[in-house]
Amino acid sequence: MIPAVLPTYNRTPLSFVSGEGCWLREESGRHYLDFGAGIGVNALGHANPALVEALTAQAEKLWHVSNLYRIPQQERLAELLVDQTFADTVFFTNSGTEAAELAIKMVRKYWHDRGESARSRILTFEGAFHGRSTAAIAAAGAEKLTAGFGPLMPGFETLGWGDHDALHAALDETVAAVMIEPIQGEGGIRPLPDACLKGLRELCDRTGALLVLDEVQCGMGRSGRLFAHEWAGIAPDIMLVAKGIGGGFPLGAVLATEAAGAPMGAGTHGSTYGGNPLGCAVGAKIMEIVADEAFLAEVRRKAGALRQKLEGLAASHPDVIEGVRGTGLMLGLKCRVTNTDFVKAGHDAGILTVPAAENVVRVLPPLNVTDAEMDEALARLDRAALAAAPDGARG
Ligand X SMILES: *Cc1c(COP(=O)(O)O)cnc(C)c1O
Catalytic residues: 129, 214, 243
- Closest approach of ligand X to the CB of residue 99, in Å: 7
Nearest to ligand X of 5, 68 (CB atom): 5
Q: Give CA–CA dist 388/379, Å, rounded.
A: 14
CB of 180 to ligand X, least distance (A): 10
Whether the CB-CB separation of 373 and 33 falls below 8 Å is answered with: yes
Q: Which is nearer to ligand X, 328 or 350 (CB)?
A: 328
Q: How far apart are CA 184 and CA 213, in angstroms?
A: 11
Cis omega before residue 151 (within 30°)?
yes
CA distance 244 to 283: 9
- Phi then psi for 307, rounded to 5 degrees? -60, -45
Tell me the closest approach of the beta carbon of residue 245 to ligand X, in angstroms.
10
User: What is the enclosing helix (H) or strand (E) of 103?
Assistant: helix 96-113
Residue whose CB is nearest to ligand X in the complex, by number:
96
Q: Which residues bind ligand X (CB under 6 A)?
A: 95-97, 100, 129-131, 181, 185, 214, 216-217, 242-243
- The half-sphere exposure of 24 on its side-chain side, counting CA atoms within 13 A, is 21
CB of 227 to ligand X, least distance (A): 13
CB of 136 to ligand X, least distance (A): 7
| Residue 314 or 360 having the CB closest to ligand X | 360
- Contact assessment for residue 90 and residue 78, using Cβ atoms and an 8 Å cutoff: yes
Residues with Cβ < 8 Å from 309, sequence gap 6 or more? 374, 375, 378
Of the candidates 300, 322, 309, the one whose C-alpha atom is nearest the C-alpha of residue 376 is 309
Query: What is the CB neighbour count within 10 angstroms for residue 26?
Result: 13
Report the residue number, 97 or 158, with the smaller CB distance to ligand X.
97
Residue with Cβ nearer ligand X (73 or 97): 97
